Amino acid sequence: MNTIAPWLIAASAGIVLVLGALHLLYTFHGSKLLPRDAELQARMQAVSPVITRQTTMWKTWIGFNASHSGGLILFGAVYGYLALAQSEVLFHSPFLLALGLAALLGWVLLARAYFFRIPLVGVALATLLYGLALLFSRV
């Protein structure tokens, strides 16, 4: 296996980890993920989703953002660790390699459809680095 492949996956994982950590920070601090319309936030804090009256749209908004961040952080931590500390395990597991690529491609599709340029560029770059690592690992 080419020795650059683990570093490419670690870089990919690092990008995702940073995106997840920033997203988590913005979820609980500051105004970056608040609606520009204060009335909309007030309505979200008052209205429940159809599925249950035990929460509000605002609480689900915060929860979805926090859990999304957690998934990104988990991916970054696990794949960064595997790439650098357990690269033989990672690169000899078609399942783990495919799972990582599928997660990244899924985030690219979500970012393209629902997010904005910075997350799209970030996850696209992470996916490119991951894909290059797969190619180099086969050389």
Look at residue 52 and tell me whether its pLDDT is greater than 70.
yes
Averaged over 67-96, what is the pLDDT? 98
Domain borders along the chain are 4-138
Closest CA to 56 of 66, 44, 64: 44
The answer on pLDDT for 45 being more than 80 is yes
Does position 98 have pLDDT exceeding 80, yes or no? Answer: yes
